[in-house]
Amino acid sequence: MSGDLKVIGRAGLAPFTSLKVGGVAECLAEAFTTEGLKRALCNGATLLGKGSNVLCGDVDGIVVLNRTSEVSVEGNTVLAESGVGLIALSRFAASRNLGGLEWACGIPGSLGGAAKMNASAFGGSFADKLTALYIFEDGREVRVPKSEIKFAYRKGCDKPVLRAEFVLNYRPREESERIMRELTARRFAAQPKGHSLGSVFKNPSGFGLKSAGYYIEKCGFGGKEYKGLSVSEKHANFILNTGGAKPKDFLTLVEIIRSAVFGEFGIKLENEFESIGDIL
């Protein structure tokens, strides 16, 4: 144990996820610096950021919570460690009269998670203002330009991310704050409150296809309950934890919904969330 890395020991993972459902980690640790994070990754640790958009089962070995939080600014270039939250970074940029990250003002994930799935909202995405990622590969930190990463819809970097570098545009703080207030209001109006991991399924691709939530709603799942879980009536692509659910219950409900949508519309919905560990 050091100031860089704190070992907690065997622990449940549910408290460290937005869904508040999870299995058990054989050994849980917290990394507070990039050096600590690299030490954990050198020992085969599974990386967990803010715990949104992820379903955790039982994990053998180490799970490291990414608590890195440093952000630096030089001109309009921002370098942030991967544990920094998207909400915090969007507000930080606005406070420095830098725009381009307003779209992220309501996303509860970390930079590392956003890099993995190319998080997006309201017409903006993680990759838009990104110039490079610093990844962990072969035991060392490597700078990778954005041009070498194949970003797409819900697809980003598949390596552990240590830092992200952005070049932002100058924008008055008041204008950024106005944009973020408007986007936050739109998010609250469209998405349910409660414990969830965000959107369960990716929106299907193809001409004329509608959102995943549309097809789930049409199959009659809005408001349906299953073993401590509830499909949101407000937005059917959200599954809320209402108490007592287990990881396997969540996966079972996901498969029930996927099967129903395929049977009714011939559309196979793909998971938007990630899974770690054994979900039995």
Positions marked catalytic: 154, 199, 272
Give the total residue count for the chain.
280
H/E run at residue 60: strand 59-66
* Separation between Cα atoms, residue 200 and residue 230, nearest integer Å: 12
Residue 109 identity (one-letter amino acid)? G
At how many degrees (to 10) do helices 86-95 and 173-190 cross? 150
Identify the three-state secondary structure at position 124.
strand
Which helix H or strand E contains 99, and what residues bound it? strand 98-99
92 near 167, Cβ under 8 Å? no
DSSP strands (E only) in 116-246: 120-121, 124-125, 130-137, 140-145, 161-167, 169-170, 225-226, 229-231, 239-241
With contact defined as beta carbons under 8 Å apart, do 151 and 118 qualify?
yes
Distance of CA 170 to the CA centre of its chain: 27
CB atoms under 10 Å from CB of 2, counted, come to 11
**Token pair in block for residue 143:** 């700078």
5: β partners: 31
- Return the SS3 of 226: strand
